[in-house]
Amino acid sequence: MVDNKPLEGRLALVTGASKGIGAATAKALAGAGAHVVLTGRDVRALEKVEDEIHELGGTATIAPLDLTETDAIARLVSAISARWNQLDYLVICAAYLPTLTPVTQIDAKQFSQAITINVLATQALLAGFDPMLKRSDVARVIGFTSSVGEQPRAYWSAYGSSKAAFDNILNSYGQEVEKLSNIRVAIVDPGATRTEMRAKAYPGEDPSTVKSPDVVAERILALLSEDFTTGHRERVA
């Protein structure tokens, strides 16, 4: 008999869950039985995702927050840890793409926002939720990256450098905790996917020529059930 609720009784936190890959992933995890905490800045969009999850028979809780606010993650950690004992899945989807520009013309304010959301918030999430993750027997941390973090590309330096740091932080954390806990860390490059960020980067592209966020979400759901080792990295075709 096939278990259609393999994540029953598990708690997942998905950042950037108001749209795109984050929303699709949240719905996939909820559909598999997990209770999903949805974070993002757009309250109405989060409520829409929550309603869709409930309509499909799943459960979710919205936790609106702005990752650029100094104490936002600390407040999130406090609220979640007060209600639940452990966190089983942390999926980091939230990201900020600065305007594509030559290195010499990078906008300092946008670059700072990319570093704050893509790097500093990631470290704060790992630090804040580390105790809850360590209490789980199946803890998994999945971070969404980009190929430009590994392979520098002209005009993408502001985003790419933030993603290189993002990858480094995740992999370092994974190595630090793999022998002390059940936490395993994976980095996933979603590849060309139909999202607002993709449209911003490639405004002339026909959206129908790239895959739906649902394809990425289904791969994340499958990955959570696999016995991967820390350092696992893959690109979703």
Q: Which residues are catalytic?
A: 159
Q: Which residue has the tokens 């609106």?
A: 64
> By CB neighbour count within 10 A (0-12 exposed, 13-18 middle, 19+ buried), where does 223 fall?
middle
CB atoms within 10 A of CB 182: 15
Q: Which residue, among 91, 71, 110, has the nearest Cα to 28 in the 3D structure?
A: 91
Helix, strand, or coil (residue 13): strand
Residue 2 DSSP class: -
CB 60 within 8 A of CB 38: yes
CB 170 within 8 A of CB 141: yes
Beta pairing, strands 184-189 & 140-144? parallel
Contacts of 176 (CB under 8 A, 6+ apart): none
CB 42 within 8 A of CB 17: no
Q: How would DSSP label each residue in 87-115?
A: --EEEE-----PPP--GGG--HHHHHHHH
CB 200 within 8 A of CB 183: no
CB 118 within 8 A of CB 148: no
